[in-house]
Amino acid sequence: MLRRTLAVAVKELLQLRRDPRTAFTLFGMPIALLLLYGYALSFDVQHIRLAVVDQDGSRAARDLADSFLQSGYFDLVSHGGDPRVLDRLFDTGKAQAALVIPAKYGSELAARRPSTLQFVLDGSDSQTATTILGYARQIVGSVTPVVRTGTGNAAVVQAPLVWYNPDLSSARFLVPGLLAFILMVTSVIATALAVVREKERGTMESLRATPLVAIELLVGKTLPYLLLGSAATAGTLVTARLLFDVRVRGSLLWLAAVSLVFLAVSLGWGILVSTIAETQQVAFQLGLLSSMLPTFILSGFIFPISSMPRGLQLITHLFPARYYLTALREIILKGAGPEVWWNQAVGLVVYGVAVLALATVRTVRSL
Amino acid sequence: MSSAPAPPVVTARELTRAFGPFVAVDSVTFEVRPGEIFGFLGSNGAGKTTTIRMLCGLLAPSSGSASVLGLDVARDAAEIKRRIGYMSQRFSLYNDLTVEENLRFWGGAYGLFGARMAEREEWAVETAGLQASRRTLVRSLPGGFRQRLALVAALLHEPPIVFLDEPTGGVDPEARRRFWDLIDELVAAGKTVFVTTHYMDEAERCHRVALMHAGRLLALDSVPGLKRVFPRGSIVEVACSGSARAMAGIERLPGVSEVALFGDALHVVLSEPSALPSLERSLSETGCADATVRAISPSLEDVFIRVIATAEGRMV
């Protein structure tokens, strides 16, 4: 039993060695994707083109405008006292945001009377606009009390404290998701192709005539991919650390354990795909569709599950990446132990057993 | 064959396999004796592959039964797989592995390892004449080499019987001849070979041949036995210019039962040998003035055509 399984694994490894394309897909692709998405998929908004309309001209007004520029998020594109220039600036896209400081801002502030600032935004990209508004609120909120303190009055200091990802970097948030995405896509496709290739070439018929049973064939075929997938996971983490300064705060051992379970689930999924597809082309597309899209959209990778409609939230439970991703974020970002994410791990194990059982049953039937 | 008959290696009793309404193998009964080359001759779609797949435990019979090495194909498929060799119609080696790697894999699939594997690998390389190509990728081997390699790969675990499904498809005549020399060697060493083919010259090299047509086994005998369907002297070859045109005319002559075109010549089957002189006299009337006529012994193809014609006549 063990010998026959080993024979299949060795054969698969030899074939992998002669097929650099698959090896690259498994190993190079994850890192390429990490670079691509790590740099491109950034939600950080910087270099916001800001126009300042200062109708006051007081020192307080200049301080306020300065704090926007010194925040690092804003670039000044226009400074003046006439609000009528804004129409043109927004129409031509020269400005994304405008801060309008009303006359008497300084004196009202000094007299401790409320003053109204106007903040104008280009809302055509709602997500960016929301982010900019957030920055603006934060700056105004943190600056005005300081100004007040300077005049010797009420000292209300707003100091936001962000946990786990203090500089709110997208890379840190994305890396766990990318890891899940990469592992899922590459392992599903690689295993599906590896099995379907035998069908296509006709070697499957000969394998069926040997004493090899389905489980030996499946374990033997997936073992090399499990190894390669693990190596790719490690490679992705190292790359993330070097390029995006994403450190794993939690236990590497737990990370490896959870990743291994997730890999097994993905491999099972790939085998399941292979029992349906008859050609490598179909297997590739089926594998891609069934692994990439759900992992991208329904795992919380990019769109938070908590803000999805109720029905969709339930559907996310059908995709393994959801469990893995949640546990992964806990481990990588928060350094949390199993007492926090054990339910995700259980979900993953249950899922894995179900998928592998189904894959085996289907393979036995097709053998 | 021998005076104390050994038990048959393969026994099929009314073996039938249907795919939906299509009956691929229709109530086939035969036995394969130990140490013989048993040929299954038939055109594509005759049911040869389906039969072989049932015997190898790859496909369950719809009805009827079969046993291989005393094991029932429906119940003991797993044990049968362990004890037989099988070379499928589709190419069964990995193109991206070397000769050695392929042998080690297929040996491993049968649980061979260590010293025994090394010894069998040695045997296989030598038997197939591949000493110089051990480290060659199978992709770059000539067709005939690959076929021989596939055969020895199916014999690594020393099965007493090997099933070959159209083993020489797509290789040149010289490679086919070498392949069949190898089969003769195996049989001399005591193996039983069950082989399907649609090549008549290959069937001639079998000890016994079963003729399959449309899922049914129409005849089963040794090659000389099959040829006795025709009485001695009842088949003649007529060679003349424009034989194809003369065919219809000759078919209508008295004493002629069948005419078939073989290359440029015609094979004419007489209803009885005494009809020969009248055929020779009448040939000029059919536009075959320059004809040369000689009695020939029937080829397997003559037999095949006759058997099918008879069966179809009966079926209609």
pLDDT digits (tens, 9 = 90+) for B142-163: 988 999 999 999 999 999 999 9
List the single residue in B with minimal CA-CA distance to A203.
B92
List the single residue in A with minimal CA-CA distance to B107.
A7
- The model carries a pTM of 0.77
B94 min Cα distance to partner chain A (Å): 7
- Chain-chain contact of A7 with B94 (C-beta, under 8 angstroms): no
* CA distances to A172, A249, A264 from A324, in Å: 16, 16, 12
B316 min Cα distance to partner chain A (Å): 37
Confidence category of residue A178, pLDDT binned at 50, 70, 90: confident
Contact call for residues B223 and B206 (beta carbons, < 8 A): yes
- Separation CA A128–CA A9 (nearest Å): 50
What element of type H or E holds B70? none
Helix (H, G, I), strand (E, B) or coil at B298: coil
- Is the pLDDT reported for residue A156 higher than 60? no
Q: Which of B78, B87, B94 sits opposite A15 (nearest CB)?
A: B94
* CA distances to A34, A273, A292, A354, A357 from A288, in Å: 17, 10, 5, 21, 22
Burial of B103 (0-12, 13-18, 19+ CB in 10 A): buried
A7 min Cα distance to partner chain B (Å): 5
Burial of A117 (0-12, 13-18, 19+ CB in 10 A): middle
Tell me whether domains B10-227 and B235-297 share a fold.
Answer: no
Q: What is the ipTM of this complex?
A: 0.82
How many of the other CB atoms lie within 10 Å of CB of B146?
A: 24
- Nearest of A255, A254, A225, A224 to residue A237 by alpha carbon: A255
* CA distances to A129, A262, A360, B5, B101 from A216, in Å: 56, 21, 10, 40, 19
CATH code of the domain occupying B235-297: 3.30.70.100
* Contact residues on chain A for B108, CB-CB shorter than 8 A: 3-4, 6-8, 10-11
The pLDDT, as a whole number, for residue A318 is 86
How many of the other CB atoms lie within 10 Å of CB of B79?
A: 16
Helix (H, G, I), strand (E, B) or coil at B283: helix
The pLDDT, as a whole number, for residue B211 is 94
Helix (H, G, I), strand (E, B) or coil at B215: coil
* Contact residues on chain B for A202, CB-CB shorter than 8 A: 88, 90-92
Helices (H), chain A: 2-18, 20-40, 59-70, 85-91, 105-110, 126-150, 170-201, 203-208, 214-244, 252-276, 280-297, 310-316, 320-329, 338-366
More confident residue, B289 or B29: B29
List the single residue in A with minimal CA-CA distance to B90.
A202
Rounded to the nearest integer, the mean pLDDT of chain A is 83
Strand partners, B39: B195, B209
- Separation CA A10–CA A105 (nearest Å): 77
- Nearest of B92, B121, B89 to residue B104 by alpha carbon: B121
- Nearest of A248, A236, A262, A253 to residue A334 by alpha carbon: A248
The pLDDT, as a whole number, for residue A45 is 76
Burial of A209 (0-12, 13-18, 19+ CB in 10 A): buried
CA dihedral A133, A137, A143, A147 (to 10 degrees): 120
A112: left (phi over 0), alpha (psi -120 to 50) or beta: left
Interface test with B, best of A10, A17, A18 (most B CBs within 10 A): A18
Q: Does domain A48-150 have CATH number 2.60.40.10?
A: no
With a CB cutoff of 8 Å and minimum separation 6, the contacts of A2 are none
Interface test with A, best of B83, B96, B149, B164 (most A CBs within 10 A): B96
pLDDT digits (tens, 9 = 90+) for B264-305: 888 888 887 788 888 887 777 777 777 788 888 888 888 888
- The structural domains of chain A, with segments of one domain joined by +, span 2-41+169-366, 48-150
Q: CA B101: distance to chain centroid? A: 30
List the single residue in B with minimal CA-CA distance to A9.
B105
Whether the CA torsion A57, A59, A60, A65 is positive or negative: it is positive
- The structural domains of chain B, with segments of one domain joined by +, span 10-227, 235-297
Superfamily of domain B10-227: P-loop containing nucleotide triphosphate hydrolases (3.40.50.300)
- Chain-chain contact of A209 with B88 (C-beta, under 8 angstroms): yes
Confidence category of residue A42, pLDDT binned at 50, 70, 90: low
- Separation CA B8–CA B13 (nearest Å): 13
The pLDDT, as a whole number, for residue A165 is 61
- Separation CA A91–CA A96 (nearest Å): 10
More confident residue, B18 or B309: B18
The pLDDT, as a whole number, for residue A150 is 43
- Is the pLDDT reported for residue B91 higher than 80? no
